Structure 1
Amino acid sequence: MASSSLTGRNRALFSVSTLLLCFLLCISEQSNAQSSPVFACDVTGNPSLAGFRFCNTGLNIKARVTDLVGRLTLEEKIVFLGSKAIGVSRLGIPAYNWWSEALHGVSDLGSGTSFSGQVPGATSFPQVILTAASYNVSLFQAIGKVVSTEARAMYNVGSAGLTFWSPNVNIFRDPRWGRGQETPGEDPELSSKYAVAYVRGLQETDGGDPNRLKVAACCKHYTAYDVDNWKDVHRFTFNAVVNQQDMADTFQPPFKSCVVDGNVASVMCSYNQVNGKPTCADPDLLSGVIRGQWKLNGYIVSDCDSVDVLYTNQHYVKTKGEAVAKSILAGLDLNCDHFTGEHAMEAVKAGLVNETAIDKAISNNFATLMRLGFFDGDPKKQPYGGLGPKDVCTADNQELARDAARQGIVMLKNSAGSLPLSPSAIKTLAVIGPNANATLTMLGNYHGKPCKYTTPLQGLAETVSSTYQPGCSNVACPEPDIGSAAALAASADAVVLVMGADQSIEQEDLDRLDLYLPGKQQELVTQVAKAAKGPVVLVIMSGGGFDITFAKNDEKITSIMWVGYPGQAGGLAIADVIFGRHNPSGNLPMTWYPQSYVEKVPMSNMNMRPDKSKGYPGRTYRFYAGETVYAFADGLTYTKFDHQLIKAPRLVSLSLDDNHPCRSSECQSLDAIGPHCENAVEGVSDFEVHLKVKNVGDREGSHTVFLFFTPPQVHGSPIKHLLGFEKVRLGKSEETVVRFNVDVCKDLSVVDEIGKRKIALGHHLLHVGSLKHSLNISV
Structure 2
Amino acid sequence: MYTIFNTNTNSNCKYRFILLALFCIFQTAGQSIYQNPKNTIEERVNDLLSKMTLEEKLSQMVNNSPAVERLNIPAYNWWNETLHGVARSPYNVTSYPQAIAMAASWNPASLKTMAEYCAVEGRAIYNDSKKKGKTGIYLGLTYWSPNINIFRDPRWGRGQETYGEDPYLTGNLGSAFVKGLQGNDPVYLNASACAKHFAVHSGPEWSRSTYNAEVSKHDLWDTYLPAFRDLIVDAKVSGVMCAYNQFEGKPCCGNDILMQDILRKQWNFTGYVTSDCGGIGMFWKTHKTHTDKETAASDAVLNGTDCECSSDPTYKALKSAIDKGLLTQESIDNSVRRLLTIRFRLGMFDPDEIVPLGKIDISALESPAHKAHALKMAQESLVLLKNENNLLPLSKKIKKIALVGPNADEKSVMLANYYGYPSHVSTILEGIQSKVGDRLIFEQGLTLVDNKVFKSSYNPKEFCSGKQDGFDASYFQNTKFQGDPQVKRLDKKVDFKWGDGHTIDNKIIIREMSVRWSTDYTPLKSQQVTFSLMGDDHAMLYIDDNKVIDTDLKNSYYTLKAEKGKKYKIVIEYVQFNDNAEVKFDIGIIETLSPEELASRVKDADVIVFAGGISAQLEGESMPVSVDGFKGGDRTHINLPVLQTKTMQALKATGKPIVFINMSGSAMGFQWEAANLPVILQGWYAGQAGGQAIADVLFGDYNPAGRLPVTFYKNVNDLPDFENYSMENRTYRYYKGEPLYSFGYGLSYTHFVYSDLKTPVSVRKGENLAISVQVKNDGEMDGDEVVELYVSHKDAGLKVPIRSLKGFERIHLKRGESKIINFNLNPGDLSIINDEGNTLQPLGSVEISIGGSQPSVAAIKSGAAMSKLVAVTQ
Pairwise same-fold verdict (TM > 0.5): yes
* Aligned residue number for residue 35 of structure 1: none
Q: Secondary structure at the match of 1:592?
A: coil
* Aligned residue number for residue 218 of structure 2: 245
Distance 2:66 2:377 in 1: 39
Amino acid at match of 2:740: V
Residue 272, structure 1, aligned to residue 245, structure 2: yes
When residues 416 and 54 of structure 1 are mapped into structure 2, their CA distance, relative to the original with a 3 A threshold, is: same
C-alpha contact (below 8 Å) 2:770/2:823 kept by paired residues: yes
2:611 alignment partner, one of 498, 504, 509 = 498
Residue 741, structure 1, aligned to residue 809, structure 2: no
Residue pairs, 1:81-480, within 5 angstroms: 81-108=61-88, 114-115=89-90, 119=91, 121-158=92-129, 160-204=139-183, 208-229=184-205, 234-337=207-310, 338-376=312-350, 378-379=351-352, 382-424=355-397, 426-464=398-436, 465-475=439-449
Alpha-carbon distance, 1:99 to partner: 0.3
Alpha-carbon distance, 1:341 to partner: 3.5
Q: Secondary structure at the match of 1:543?
A: coil
Alpha-carbon distance, 1:475 to partner: 4.2
**Sequence identity (%):** 36
Alpha-carbon distance, 1:633 to partner: 0.7
Q: Secondary structure at the match of 2:173?
A: helix
Residue 511, structure 1, aligned to residue 634, structure 2: yes
* TM-score, normalised via structure 1 length: 0.85
* TM-score, normalised via structure 2 length: 0.76
* Aligned residue number for residue 701 of structure 1: 783
* Aligned residue number for residue 30 of structure 1: none
Amino acid at match of 2:440: S
* Aligned residue number for residue 686 of structure 2: 566
How many equivalent residue pairs? 677
* Aligned residue number for residue 629 of structure 1: 740
When residues 50 and 405 of structure 1 are mapped into structure 2, their CA distance, relative to the original with a 3 A threshold, is: farther
* Aligned residue number for residue 14 of structure 1: none
Tell me how large the CA RMSD over aligned residues is. 1.8
Amino acid at match of 2:284: Y
C-alpha contact (below 8 Å) 1:480/1:521 kept by paired residues: no
When residues 480 and 272 of structure 1 are mapped into structure 2, their CA distance, relative to the original with a 3 A threshold, is: farther
2:870 alignment partner, one of 748, 763, 775 = 775
2:705 alignment partner, one of 553, 569, 585 = 585
* Aligned residue number for residue 725 of structure 1: 808
Amino acid at match of 2:419: H
C-alpha contact (below 8 Å) 2:204/2:722 kept by paired residues: no
When residues 154 and 473 of structure 1 are mapped into structure 2, their CA distance, relative to the original with a 3 A threshold, is: same
Alpha-carbon distance, 1:447 to partner: 0.7
1:712 alignment partner, one of 794, 801, 818 = 794
Q: Secondary structure at the match of 2:317?
A: helix
C-alpha contact (below 8 Å) 1:176/1:512 kept by paired residues: yes
Alpha-carbon distance, 1:768 to partner: 1.5
Distance 2:718 2:732 in 1: 18
When residues 467 and 690 of structure 1 are mapped into structure 2, their CA distance, relative to the original with a 3 A threshold, is: same
Amino acid at match of 1:128: A
Alpha-carbon distance, 1:760 to partner: 2.0
When residues 626 and 50 of structure 1 are mapped into structure 2, their CA distance, relative to the original with a 3 A threshold, is: farther
2:750 alignment partner, one of 639, 661, 673 = 639
Distance 1:480 1:368 in 2: 57
Give CA deviations for 1:353-383 in whole Å, capped at 9, x if unaligned: 111100000100000111110111x335633
* Aligned residue number for residue 61 of structure 1: 41
Higher helix share: 1
Q: Secondary structure at the match of 2:789?
A: strand
Give CA deviations for 1:404-449 in whole Å, capped at 9, x if unaligned: 010010000001130000111x122111000000101111111111
Alpha-carbon distance, 1:599 to partner: 6.2
Alpha-carbon distance, 1:399 to partner: 1.1
Distance 1:482 1:251 in 2: 44
C-alpha contact (below 8 Å) 1:434/1:470 kept by paired residues: yes
When residues 210 and 488 of structure 1 are mapped into structure 2, their CA distance, relative to the original with a 3 A threshold, is: farther
Amino acid at match of 2:416: G
C-alpha contact (below 8 Å) 1:49/1:91 kept by paired residues: no
Amino acid at match of 1:336: C
C-alpha contact (below 8 Å) 2:718/2:737 kept by paired residues: no
Amino acid at match of 2:433: A
When residues 639 and 326 of structure 1 are mapped into structure 2, their CA distance, relative to the original with a 3 A threshold, is: same
Q: Secondary structure at the match of 1:773?
A: strand
Residue 483, structure 1, aligned to residue 605, structure 2: no
1:542 alignment partner, one of 642, 648, 664 = 664
Q: Secondary structure at the match of 2:603?
A: helix
Amino acid at match of 1:59: N
1:762 alignment partner, one of 844, 848, 861 = 844
Distance 2:719 2:329 in 1: 51
Distance 1:532 1:403 in 2: 35
Q: Which moved more, 1:574-583 or 1:489-498?
A: 489-498
Residue 620, structure 1, aligned to residue 740, structure 2: no
* Aligned residue number for residue 722 of structure 2: 603
C-alpha contact (below 8 Å) 1:480/1:520 kept by paired residues: no
Distance 1:336 1:295 in 2: 24
Q: Which moved more, 1:644-653 or 1:752-761?
A: 644-653
Alpha-carbon distance, 1:87 to partner: 1.5
Alpha-carbon distance, 1:78 to partner: 0.3
Amino acid at match of 1:85: S
Q: Secondary structure at the match of 1:436?
A: coil
Alpha-carbon distance, 1:551 to partner: 0.9
Distance 2:28 2:381 in 1: 54
C-alpha contact (below 8 Å) 1:81/1:340 kept by paired residues: no
Residue pairs, 1:628-667, within 5 angstroms: 628-654=739-765
When residues 585 and 272 of structure 1 are mapped into structure 2, their CA distance, relative to the original with a 3 A threshold, is: same
Distance 2:366 2:214 in 1: 44
Distance 1:171 1:477 in 2: 35
C-alpha contact (below 8 Å) 1:486/1:532 kept by paired residues: no
Distance 1:326 1:49 in 2: 43
Distance 1:689 1:56 in 2: 52
Higher strand share: 2
* Aligned residue number for residue 28 of structure 1: none
Q: Secondary structure at the match of 1:491?
A: coil
Give CA deviations for 1:158-183 in whole Å, capped at 9, x if unaligned: 17211110000000000100001000
- Structure 1 gaps of 5+ residues are 1-42, 109-113, 610-617, 655-676, 678-684
Q: Which moved more, 1:333-342 or 1:518-527?
A: 333-342
Alpha-carbon distance, 1:482 to partner: 1.4
Q: Secondary structure at the match of 1:645?
A: strand
Amino acid at match of 2:300: S
